[in-house]
Copies of this chain bind each other. A is one copy, B any other.
Amino acid sequence: MKTYINPNRADWAQIASRRISSDDAVESRVLQILAEVKSKGDVALRRLALQIDGFAPEQFEVSEAEFAEAENCVTEAMKQAIAQAADNIRKFHSAQKFEPIEVENGAGVKCIQRAVPIQRVGLYIPGGSAPLFSTVLMLAIPAVVAGCPHIVMCTPTGKTGKVAPEVLYAARMCGVQMVYKIGGAQAVAAMAYGTESVLKVDKIFGPGNRYVTKAKQHVSVSDVAIDMPAGPSEVLVVADESAEVSFAAADILSQAEHGPDSQAILVCSTTDFAERAEAEVQRQLALLPRAAIASQALDNSRIVVLESRDEQIEFINYYAPEHLIILCADAWSVANRITASGSVFVGAYSPESAGDYASGTNHTLPTSGWAKAYSGVNLDSYMRKITYQELTREGLSALATTIVTMAEGEGLDAHAAAVKVRLKGGQND
């Protein structure tokens, strides 16, 4: 990890930079895949599965027999773990339910805001190097809590032709009925456009590789909403002198093991702490099965020594970390000043892995600085807010002068006329 000691403000942009992988080959391949699935549906999905995975399932939808087989393969210990995590996630997301708001803006002018579930949501669960069944919980539970009537899930099988049993078990346990064995950009295309097998959805959620991310980006322009722009995972650990160096190092490594393009930033106030942390990271790194991956991520990671607390806070909000871990004696006094972070882990016993799996918060969070403008996935992500208004004749009269004056001021006479026609009376009067 490169260390920066009291860097100038002018260097912050470089220190806070993320590794951007822009790849024209990925871009053009994704555009091909999207076009093919859009025009040829299931035929394209089958052709692409054969070409990319070397295997195309007879039917894309996971059968009851496959769900049953998966359930048999999952250990009791894992079932209990998933159950505890799911309970906590369900409880926290249920607490986010939105109560309708009703305001009376003068007699006879009622304004209401209510939340309704998005009708069709699509969840993408990556396969790849590890079966991310925790992501099933994070994406499916709030969809079910929100009351989304149609929940579609896509996940790749790779050459084995099978989905990881934990993924299927978790999906069914959460209440997801439609799971399709489709991965990559073609899964995004299938959910965005719909095919003979796959329901077109209104919004697509979930992480994925560069192809999935690029495909989501493209379909979001004119076909379907997405949860948020995606980038490699990242953590910022801020530690004061009271912090246990081994905790900070473990948190840095639990981020680094995600992938070679992950990033960990340690912000601390002394070079002594920085040096001890670096040494401890190296010590713990040697013990990890995924040391090779973590080590690449560390090349892209940084230690930033900033003496003043104000500057530390400013830097954190500037970086806008996906995950922020606060290993400080007065952790809440830091947390309360954070304006840009996906999720905040307060105090020594709140490692990122708690939130990644089991405490109840969501782990699908904005990366790459998007935490300046995006929230992580939460119950809102699965709902839309609709406003309603109901005016009586009296209510409309009370606003009439205002509406007519403003409409005519904007040159929109028909807007004014829609008020006048109602107030001059008609057969319903």
Which residues of A approach B to under 8 Å, CB–CB? 77-78, 80-82, 84-85, 87-88, 91-92, 95-96, 101, 103, 105-106, 108-109, 111, 113, 116-120, 129-134, 166, 202-203, 217, 221-222, 224-225, 229, 242-244, 246-247, 250-251, 253-254, 256-258, 284, 287-290, 294, 317, 331-332, 335, 338-362, 370-376, 378, 380, 384-393, 395-396, 399, 401-403, 405-407, 409-419, 421-422, 426-428
Q: Are B130 and A202 in contact (CB under 8 A)?
A: no
Chain B residue numbers with a CB within 8 Å of A342 are: 386-387
Chain B residue numbers with a CB within 8 Å of A356 are: 403, 407, 415
Chain B residue numbers with a CB within 8 Å of A203 are: 373
Chain B residue numbers with a CB within 8 Å of A370 are: 225
Chain B residue numbers with a CB within 8 Å of A362 are: 387
Q: Are B257 and A413 in contact (CB under 8 A)?
A: yes
Chain B residue numbers with a CB within 8 Å of A120 are: 372
Q: Are B350 and A391 in contact (CB under 8 A)?
A: yes
Chain B residue numbers with a CB within 8 Å of A395 are: 349
Which single residue of chain B is at the shortest CB-CB distance from A258? B412
Contacts A396-B349, A415-B257 known; A406 to B118 CB distance under 8 Å?
no
Per assembly, the copies of the chain total 2
Which single residue of chain B is at the shortest CB-CB distance from A378? B385
* Distance (whole angstroms) from the CB of A372 to the closest CB of chain B: 4
Give the contacting residue for A347; candidates B343, B348, B391, B405; CB below 8 A: B391
Q: Are B405 and A288 in contact (CB under 8 A)?
A: no
Q: Given contacts A92-B111, A354-B403, could you give 7 more A-B pairs where the C-beta distance is less than 8 Å?
A: A116-B338, A119-B372, A131-B409, A254-B414, A290-B414, A346-B389, A360-B389
Chain B residue numbers with a CB within 8 Å of A294 are: 414
Q: Are B359 and A421 in contact (CB under 8 A)?
A: no
